[in-house]
Amino acid sequence: MPAINIRGLSTHFRTPRGVVRAVQDVSFSVGAGRTLGIVGESGCGKSVLSRSILRLVPEPPGIRAGGEVLFEGRDLQRLDESALRDIRGSAIAMIFQDPMTSLNPVLTIGRQIGEVLERHLAYNRSKARTRAVELLETVGVQCGPKRLDEYPHQLSGGMRQRVTIAMALACRPRLLIADEPTTALDATVQMQILILLKRLQRETGMAMIFISHDLGAVASVADEIAVMYAGRIVEKAPRADLFESMRMPYTQALLRARPDLDAPPHMRLGALEGRPPDLARIPEGCAFAPRCSHADAHCRIGAPPLRADGGHSFACWKPIDHALPAEPVRANGDDGSPKP
């Protein structure tokens, strides 16, 4: 049984410019001990999706526009606020890009971890303090009780993220949602944090949803990867399968945009023309069609459904055919036109 099962989830926003369809008809499930990576560029809806799971999107302007979030037999979309509060931070925990989002700047780190334990596990103060030291050691923050009395601003970015991981793990969550947890960190620290997350996952068997714009980071931790574009999942496959036989031209373009470390300097990059669509004005047909080198008239009429080919699903009328020789990405364009 999956730890979490999401069916047709949609989250919209009512704005003066019209309804923004930030998340549209998203479905996936993640099993215990497994990691789903979600990758996409800014504005594709991946962060709104991660916040929609625990209903952290303020309503209004947010609208629950349909779908189910099934977790341990309950639909989180229909739960009342107090029941949700019991789940947040205990059965399902979340970490963010900026650790200061989840850390209170005027509380010592010992108090912050202690509060989680007192709130969800009814620990008393001294027991919470002892446990906080253990938790910090688990995430690689050494020197025990002295550290507990430090404030978040006294720590480096990497250390702060370790503290938020300690808080997230305090109640042994069954699901951890990590939203760009290493984006603000240096590469060497990013690697430390990812190794830590994977180790903790092995030890606790928790399921993980790992969200990032960085295909390399996602590929290094995920068992399965979903690519998001304009609010929808456009391709989803087991890790190896995705990179060996990607079907969506968008996934391929994302991959080709990054400089290749094995290529010599000054190689022209496979830049993608234009920009992702405005989520209040998603084009008809396939949302990627205006930027897609494979697109034809058909792509601009009907939105392609997400169809499955074994464990690999993709939403494309003209998927990449791996039986054919690879087609070059269209020559570099630009995003020269002003915002609408």
Partner 1 sequence: MSGSDTTSRAAASAGEQIVLRVVDLVRDYERSDGLRLQAVSGVNLVVRRGETLGLVGESGCGKSSLGRAILQLPPPTSGAVFFEGQDLTKLDRGTLRRCRRHLQMVFQDPISSLNPRRRVGEIVAEPLRIWDAAPSEEIRRRVCEVLEIVGFSPEEVWDRKPHEFSGGQCQRISLARAVVLTPALLICDEPVSALDASVQAQILNLLQEMKTRYRLTMMFISHDLAVVKNVSDRVAVMYLGKIVETGPTELIYRRPRHHYTRALMDSILTVQSKLPEQEALAGELPSALDPPGGCRFRTRCPRCEAKCAQLEPPLADIEQGHAVACHFPIP
The footprint of partner 1 (CB under 8 A) covers: 41-42, 156-159, 186-192, 194-195, 198, 213-217, 219-221, 243, 253-261, 263-272, 275, 332-339
Nearer to partner 1, 35 or 90 (CB): 35
Determine how many CB atoms are found less than 10 A away from the CB of residue 283: 14
Q: For the chain, report the end-to-end CA distance as a whole number of angstroms.
A: 45
Q: How many Å apart are CA 256 and CA 249, to the nearest integer?
A: 10
**Residue 160 vs 232, nearer CB to partner 1:** 160
| Distance of closest approach, residue 273 Cβ to partner 1, in angstroms | 8
Between 118 and 137, CB nearer to partner 1: 137
The nearest distance, CB 45 to partner 1, in angstroms, is 14
Taken in order 100, 106, 107, 108, is the CA torsion positive or negative?
positive
CB of 83 vs partner 1, minimal distance in Å: 36
CB of 216 to partner 1, least distance (A): 4
Whole-angstrom distance, CA of residue 215 vs CA of residue 209? 14
Smallest distance, Å, CB 243 to partner 1? 5
Nearer to partner 1, 111 or 291 (CB): 291
Contact 303, 285 (CB under 8 A): yes
Whether 30 and 52 have beta carbons less than 8 Å apart is answered as no
Helix (H), strand (E), coil (C) string for 69-94: EEECCEEHHHCCHHHHHHHECCCEEE
- Closest CB 18 distance from partner 1, rounded Å: 19
Smallest distance, partner 1 to C-beta of residue 147, A? 14
Beta strands 35-39; 312-314: pairing state: unpaired
Query: Please, which residue, 288 or 314, has the CB nearer to partner 1?
Result: 288
Tell me how far apart the alpha carbons of residues 153 and 201 are, in angstroms, rounded to a whole number.
28
Nearer to partner 1, 16 or 264 (CB): 264
**109-121 and 157-169 helices cross at what angle (nearest 10)?**
10
- Pick the closer one to partner 1 by CB: 65 or 287: 287
